Amino acid sequence: MREVITVSTVRREELVDITESVAAVVRRSEVGDGLVAVYAQGATAALMIQENWDESVQTDVIDLLRKLIPRGVWLHDRQDGNGDSHLKAGLVGPSEAIPIIDGNLGLSRWQNIFLCEFDGPRRERRVVCTVIGA
């Protein structure tokens, strides 16, 4: 089964929690045990599994990536000014695979799935969810 989740973003760089949307896809699939692969379409977005307890970790992720990959110093910036966005997305990566256990996402209590926006705001980001049953 495959479904596409659409997400809108409001800042240039942000992490958006998509866990409940992915869990809903898994529930609709009625797969008891298997795998859900999530994939962010777009060269300036990524996916990350990260702590969900408070926003400090998400803020720290953005701050770290800004320090590691600053804006405005890359060759691609001559094209459209978002060279850092491409590099951040490539470093984090476009996909995650999460086990499905007894019909639920196999995440720990402190883990959620985040869409990482590095070139927003965007009216629509697409995340492809592919559910595979065991």
Domains belonging to the chain, first-starting first, are 2-133 (2.60.120.460)
**pLDDT at residue 134 is higher than 90:** no
Of 79, 80, 68, 59, whose CA–CA distance to 13 is shortest?
A: 59
CA dist list (Å): 11 to 50, 111, 123: 19, 23, 11
Quote the CA–CA distance of 15 and 112 in Å, as a whole number: 11
**pLDDT at residue 90 is higher than 90:** yes
Of 125, 105, 130, 129, whose CA–CA distance to 15 is shortest?
A: 125
pLDDT tens sequence across 68-89: 999 999 999 899 999 999 999 9
Strand partners, 98: 36
pTM of the complete model: 0.96
Quote the CA–CA distance of 6 and 11 in Å, as a whole number: 16
